[in-house]
Amino acid sequence: MNKTSVLRKVPAPAIALAIFILSAQSTLPMPPTPFFSPDKVAHFIAFGALAFALALWFPLASWKAHPFRTAFLVVLLTSLYGASDEAHQYFVPGRDTSVGDWVADTLGAIVAVLCVLWGTSRLGKRGVRPNRTRGS
């Protein structure tokens, strides 16, 4: 495993840990927003970031050869983590579980994965090969 592949795998566990730590807090300061619940927006962004970071665990060749299977797996894993986050919050005083939060988690993951799919499709149109190495 080279240094680059190790660095690609660091963000997802770091984000998952940050989500866990924040979920263990009884209260979190949230600014008021006029249109959406700030809680749902925070879930959408946090789990979108997690999905994007988790997407880095899969090589570009996997995204090119099996884009929908890879995307489904990333969304599924992120959504399952979102469900476990809601279960975790059940045991935290002052917090509650919410299907709406889990939906926001999953929607954030879907949007992030759609961005990854769009980006990988753009790479193919520019002639970038998935298994290209330096010096070749």
pLDDT digits (tens, 9 = 90+) for 13-37: 999 999 999 999 887 776 666 666 7
Give me the number of domains the chain comprises: 1
The amino acid at residue 18 is: A
pLDDT digits (tens, 9 = 90+) for 44-94: 999 999 999 999 999 999 999 999 999 999 999 999 999 999 999 999 998
- DSSP track, 61-91: HHHHHSHHHHHHHHHHHHHHHHHHHHHHHHT
* 5 found inside a domain: no
Question: Which pTM was predicted?
Answer: 0.83
* 119 found inside a domain: yes
The amino acid at residue 86 is: E
* 22 found inside a domain: no
* 67 found inside a domain: yes
Residue 118 lies in domain: 59-126
* 79 found inside a domain: yes
* 104 found inside a domain: yes
